[in-house]
Amino acid sequence: MDSLNRHEDYGQESLDETHLLGDPIEQFKNWLREAEAAEIYEPNAFVLGTVDEEHHPRTRTVLLKGVDERGFFFATNYLSRKGEAVAANNNVSATFGWYSMYRQVLIQGIAEKAVAAESDEYHASRPHDSQVAAWSSQQSQPIDTRAELDAQYEQALAKFENTDVPRPDYWGMYRIIPTRIEFWKGRTNRMHDRIEFVRNVTADGVASEWKVQRLQP
């Protein structure tokens, strides 16, 4: 495991407060576009962190499916482990790692279900077979064999052959309303740049202005 002993130099390119937009969501969009231009594999992939009702942390990689001034959107089965965790505790984290660019974005926020129309719109945009998959899997539930899982999928394919696939009522979009967004840039000697945007969001969704501060690496 040679990687355990590597000490790569992350370079001298700096990240200064003056390099960032005042709106961290717009700044995130800029970095995402730059990650796309750099041909990062799955640049919209992020690690979603949740805490379940027994206070156990869980992480998994999901795909960002929308971002606007309201927050960051992803889709999943509401009855999955992550869906149940969000129902028990809607405080979540999201980590985007564009490692070949020596960049990370670390987000903390509050997750909530998107409105039904947004979930319907995204479901309609998915490939037919992906729409079918939402009907064929009880996400996160045990199953004895792969053959059984494949059989469920084939049954769902047959059911929706040559017809539109409606969105299951247990599947849809979530929105992460960010309360903290940190932009991280790797530097030489591990003296990394970390710029953090922080705000408060009330229970009824009213957000304060973003405050900016530099963090020590």
* Short-list 199, 187, 172, CA closest to 115: 172
Q: Which one of 190, 194, 199, 214 is the catalytic residue?
A: 190
- CA–CA separation, 108 vs 110, rounded Å? 7
* Contact status, residue 145 vs residue 46, Cβ threshold 8 Å: no
Give the count of alpha carbons within 13 A of 190, CB side only.
2
Beta strands (DSSP E) in the chain are 45-51, 57-63, 66-68, 71-77, 91-98, 103-113, 171-185, 193-198, 211-215
* Short-list 190, 201, 185, CA closest to 27: 185
- Is 167 tagged catalytic? no
Terminal Cα-to-Cα distance of the chain (whole angstroms): 26
Query: What positions carry a catalytic annotation?
Result: 190
